Amino acid sequence: MLSVMHDFTASGLSRRDSLAALAGLVITPGALGQAAPVGRPASGAAAGAQSAAPAALLACWAEAFGAADRIRLRVDAAGRVGIGVDGRTGEGFELVRAFLAAGAIAEALAMVAGVACVPHAFRWADPAAWPEVCTFTMSAGGSLRSPTRLQLELAAAISGRVQSHVPFRPDRPASDAAVRGVGANMSSDRVKSWIVEADDRAGFHAAMRVLASVPELAATIGPSAYWQEGIVPVVWGLSRTANPNMLAFVGQRIEAASLYAFQSGASLDPTLLPPEICERAAAADQEVARALATIARLGRCEATEPVVVARVGVPLEARPRTAPPFQSMLGGLAVDATDPGAAP
């Protein structure tokens, strides 16, 4: 376990090592607090701090929305993982992506805790306190029981998923089970989303192809070939005034839907439509304006606000995802020794 936790390079942790960390969490959940940083004794607060370190490493593989370089995770001396965003530069679209990614990290941590069968909790920060998002606490004192097969498959999918921002197979749509898994996990009492109706999908695809004809938008959403027949569109409507926590809640649901899609043999490819670029393109081209109106109508969202549009389908080719930048996200797994007895 120590080699998995501490012997990683700038190129990232391999999927094999990620699964080894996952296996350690499954086999010895009660011993999570026994691993310590290199050169330090496994005692007291430092031992508790490392109980969440393997989970933090695994969670780095969560959906990043192109914002992995802005995510900041820190394992403190009480065994907690602080989730934050580097907000010193950039605004608007870039920060929305980062807070979505922070939520995806939170969902991945919860999945890993479920596999380890140990209690866990989140403390969400006051919205005014951003770039802090939340603190995750994973206790090593839970009852020991075997995780379910579904829990294992979902946790393994965090690092095992293939690249989703690729062409999907037009001749092999996602299975009904995959679409049901997405539908069952993409919403909550705080998050609203919508699977575009089957009869409306052709019109939605056509509208997305119009957006993809704009080079600035294609750089984000991909080429028009990504929106052919057989694709199931899913929409999460956002708001420019949404606070970081609300964005993180949406990121959680997108991560959960992505994991369930992969567990069922498909992929979910989320992309955030940049509202400023959409507005400029619509002002310059009436066809783009009509396409945005179609997306708003069929996706039950506001096209003038940030919108997450996702494709559900089967990749034409299974390509491995690029390893996340662990060292910048985790800061070398440094342990903050201040205030070890603070309540989460």
Residues 6 or more apart from 313 whose CB is under 8 A from it?
Answer: 168, 169, 173, 174, 230, 231, 232, 266, 267, 269
Check residues 280 and 25 and name the one with the higher pLDDT.
280
Q: pLDDT tens digits for 50-76?
A: 568 888 889 999 999 999 999 999 888
Most confident range (mean pLDDT) of 143-157, 300-314, 318-332 is: 300-314
Find, among 66, 301, 51, the residue nearest to 195 by Cα: 301
* DSSP H helices in the chain: 2-6, 15-27, 44-49, 53-59, 93-116, 149-160, 176-185, 201-212, 215-221, 244-263, 275-284, 286-299, 326-330
Mean pLDDT of all residues belonging to the chain: 83
Q: How confident is the model at residue 102 (pLDDT cuts 50, 70, 90)?
A: very high
Residue 222 CA to residue 209 CA, distance in Å, equals: 9
Q: What share of the chain in percent tops pLDDT 90?
A: 57
Dump the DSSP string for 185-218: HS--SS--EEEPPGGGHHHHHHHHHHHHTSHHHH
pLDDT of residue 88: 67
Map tokens 């007291």 to a residue.
44
pLDDT of residue 339: 41
pLDDT of residue 267: 97
pTM: 0.86
Tally the residues of the chain: 344
Question: Do 325 and 248 form a contact (C-beta atoms < 8 A)?
Answer: no
Count of beta carbons in the 10 Å neighbourhood of residue 231:
24
Tokens of 133: 């998002």
Find, among 320, 168, 174, the residue nearest to 257 by Cα: 174
The three-state secondary structure class of 130 is coil
Indicate whether 32 pLDDT > 60. no
Domains within the chain, CATH numbers bracketed: 2-161+321-336 (no CATH), 176-313 (3.40.109)
